[in-house]
């Protein structure tokens, strides 16, 4: 009996840790799913506020009349667009296209354009251009989303009291200023509230949507694809123009992919399938039922779903939800900016890391204030969510269409799927997306030109910066000279050269050329430290570099001159930290044996000037030099200690 009891106690002891791990795993999964519901679906989850209202907006240049057939057709178009493009394409397929766990259009682009990726050089250039233009469209989305989302929520005040109409725009502006002003404090604390708030949001819109359906259950006919097909076939003109507004139901789909690295595919899929998706569809159907009950309800079907007594709480909840949606897209703009900097499409930007635990939580001041200014301009220019909706759709359709093209190449070249199947699947998605895109082209005069203009401007800056960097690199090579030749000259003897104690770290692009600061120190000061480290920071075409591949040390073939080269590799989602990498490499070579207090950092800075040398058009040179003006200093970017850093400059004509 005693043995049995002891054995039972042993089994229980073994089971306890397993049960604890299982419980902890379930809690972690629930937390990630809750986080995904709050952050990933903020944009697409607030689309019910303005989508149906925009479809039946009487001020639309191509208005859709409120009839029973049109309501069924619109409900069917929305349901099947969301099902095919969001659920099937993004949740079931695109989320599998990860670049070592990271998602987003730039991650997909780098996956297709790495040196080892299959495909010709010309194809990779085209794919890179598409990826950069898609990222440029995302910046347009980052400007439009806060404007249209917050405006649409605050407009609910007009239903509470029509006399509030003059205050909608000022209140929206105040909320937006507070939103952007708060970015510098980080989203870690506020982020904990996102999930619970969005749970309340989705529960609310789902419940009131279901109540609305009970008033006109016939609206459930809209779940049948036959109504969408019939609408497109029998009344193509009206249906085609209606697509420009129906596309608003899928805004934020790209966020599913962009936030893949933060939450993981299972948690995002679970949050969508069991939370956001059914709640949004119930809300759309409930609004459709409300319009069937009384055509006048088409002016604001979302807010009219609730009783008058609950209208103010709903407006407040909607405002909170739209702030969350805006926060998510602003954070996404910061992340895309960092990736673009690391990949060489933008100059170094000052970045502040707002969390000690999560490296992805960053704040980019320059991007933040540019976005805030642009959003305020949009709010005061368009003055209503309905007017902004025409601009919003263009940004969304452009991004998802580019994503389909990149996905097709990935499925064919990387996943090795049969070409006929890839063509068929891509044709299905693109046929819907290009219809949306074409419908939005009809709204060019009404605002659809805006995201195209923004994307074109951002694309031009990014591609021009990459080309300018290549040109400057060639110019620098002539100024710097070969590192090997320079050290050979040191070996030949420089009588007046003094080797001072300590370690000097010279930041340089590679181990081939001589750091400008090192050459200047020797030629002008006749001084060189006893231990010299030429340090290069390389950005890999992967999101994260494994620790085993982080550092490479090369003595450059000279074993007695105290000069070594250290290569530090970082992924494009990681943050370069030179002191940390040297601390990690300390002891791997005698040149790195000195402590931090005996280490001096040298940074070569270049003053760029638009010259007359060939290589770029004059206007491109001026744009490149102007873009360089927003570049952050290398000291802050590489986390160098300012009291032990020496900056030495030179001038280069572009």
For 584-633, the pLDDT digits (tens) are 887 777 777 777 788 899 988 877 888 777 778 889 999 999 998 888 88
Q: Are 479 and 650 in contact (CB under 8 A)?
A: yes
Q: How far apart are CA 600 and CA 282, in angstroms?
A: 63
The pLDDT assigned to 447 comes to 83
User: What stretches of 458-526 adopt beta strand conformation (E)?
Assistant: 498-507
Q: What are the pLDDT digits (tens) for 177-234?
A: 998 988 877 655 555 667 788 899 999 999 999 999 999 999 999 999 999 999 999 9
Residue 508 has which token pair? 């340089």
| 31-466 topology per CATH | Amino acid/polyamine transporter I (1.20.1740)
Query: In a 3-state reduction of DSSP, which class is residue 216?
Result: coil
> What is the per-residue DSSP string for 227-248?
HHHHHHHHTHHHHHHHHHHHGG
The pLDDT assigned to 192 comes to 61
Whether pLDDT at 462 is above 60 = yes
Mean pLDDT of 527-551: 86
Contacts 24+ apart (CB under 8 A), 122-129: 123/409, 127/406, 127/409, 129/463
Q: What are the pLDDT digits (tens) for 393-443?
A: 888 898 899 999 999 999 998 899 999 999 999 999 999 999 999 999 988
> What is the per-residue DSSP string for 343-404?
TTSS-----EE--SS-TT-EE-HHHHHHHHHHHHHHHHHH-SHHHHHHHHHHHHHHHHHHHH
Q: Average pLDDT over the chain, rounded to whole?
A: 85
Q: Are 637 and 489 in contact (CB under 8 A)?
A: no
Q: Where are the domains of the chain?
A: 31-466, 475-653
Per-residue pLDDT band for 559 (boundaries 50, 70, 90) equals: low
pTM: 0.81
Q: How far apart are CA 594 and CA 37, in angstroms?
A: 49
């Amino acid at each position: 009996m005693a043995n049995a009891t002891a054995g039972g106690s042993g089994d229980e002891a073994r089971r306890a840790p397993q049960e604890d791990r299982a419980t902890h795993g379930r809690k972690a999964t629930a937390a990630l799913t809750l986080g995904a519901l709050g952050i990933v679906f903020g944009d697409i989850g607030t689309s019910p506020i303005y989508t149906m209202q925009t479809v039946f907006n009487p001020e639309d240049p191509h208005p859709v009349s409120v009839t029973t057939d049109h309501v069924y057709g619109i409900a069917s178009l929305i349901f099947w667009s969301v099902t095919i493009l969001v659920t099937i394409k993004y949740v079931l397929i695109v989320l599998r296209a990860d670049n070592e766990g990271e998602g987003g259009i730039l991650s997909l682009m780098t996956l297709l354009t790495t040196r080892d990726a299959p495909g010709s050089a010309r194809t990779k250039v085209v794919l890179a251009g598409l990826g950069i233009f898609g990222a440029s469209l995302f910046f347009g989305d980052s400007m439009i989303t806060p404007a249209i989302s917050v405006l649409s929520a605050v407009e609910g005040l007009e239903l509470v009291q029509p006399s509030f109409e003059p205050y909608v725009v000022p209140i929206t502006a105040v909320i937006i200023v507070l939103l952007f002003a708060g970015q510098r404090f980080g989203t870690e604390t506020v982020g904990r509230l996102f999930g619970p708030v969005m749970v309340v949001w989705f529960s609310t819109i789902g419940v009131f949507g279901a109540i609305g359906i009970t008033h006109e259950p016939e609206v459930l006919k809209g779940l049948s694809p036959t109504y969408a097909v019939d609408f497109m076939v029998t009344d193509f003109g009206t249906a085609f123009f209606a697509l420009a507004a129906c596309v608003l139901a899928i805004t934020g789909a790209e966020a599913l992919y962009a936030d893949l690295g933060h939450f993981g595919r299972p948690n995002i899929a679970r949050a969508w399938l069991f939370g956001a998706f059914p709640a949004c569809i119930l809300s759309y159907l409930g609004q459709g039922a409300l319009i069937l009950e009384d055509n006048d309800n088409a002016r604001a079907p979302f807010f009219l779903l609730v009783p008058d007594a609950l209208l103010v709480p709903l407006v407040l909840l909607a405002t909170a939800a739209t702030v969350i949606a805006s926060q998510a897209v602003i954070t996404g703009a910061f992340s895309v900016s960092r990736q673009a900097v690391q990949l060489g499409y933008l100059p170094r930007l000052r970045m502040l890391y707002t969390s000690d635990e999560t490296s992805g939580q960053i704040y980019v001041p320059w991007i933040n204030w540019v976005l805030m200014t642009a959003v305020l301009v949009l709010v005061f220019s368009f003055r209503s969510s309905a007017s902004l909706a025409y601009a919003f759709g263009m940004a969304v359709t452009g991004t998802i269409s580019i994503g389909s093209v990149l996905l097709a190449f990935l499925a064919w070249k990387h996943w090795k799927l049969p070409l006929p199947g890839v063509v068929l699947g891509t044709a299905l998605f693109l046929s819907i997306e290009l219809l949306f895109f074409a419908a939005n082209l009809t709204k060019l005069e009404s605002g659809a030109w805006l995201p195209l203009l923004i994307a074109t401007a951002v694309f031009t800056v990014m591609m021009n910066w990459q080309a300018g960097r290549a040109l400057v690199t060639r110019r620098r090579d002539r100024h710097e000279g070969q590192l090997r030749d320079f050290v050979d000259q040191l070996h030949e003897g420089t009588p007046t050269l003094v080797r001072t104690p300590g370690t000097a770290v010279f930041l340089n692009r590679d181990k081939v050329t001589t750091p400008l600061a090192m050459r200047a120190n020797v030629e002008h000061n006749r001084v060189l430290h006893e231990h010299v480290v030429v340090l290069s920071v390389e950005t890999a075409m992967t999101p994260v570099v494994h620790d085993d591949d982080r550092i490479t040390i090369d003595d450059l073939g000279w074993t007695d001159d105290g000069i070594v080269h250290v290569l530090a590799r970082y992924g494009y989602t990681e943050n370069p930290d030179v002191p940390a990498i040297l601390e990690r490499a300390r002891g791997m070579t005698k040149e790195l044996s000195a402590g931090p207090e005996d280490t001096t950092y040298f940074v070569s800075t270049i003053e760029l000037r638009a010259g007359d040398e060939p290589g770029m058009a004059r206007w491109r040179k001026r744009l490149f030099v102007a873009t360089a003006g927003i570049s952050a200093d290398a000291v802050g970017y590489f986390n160098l200690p300012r009291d032990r850093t020496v900056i030495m400059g030179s001038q280069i004509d572009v």
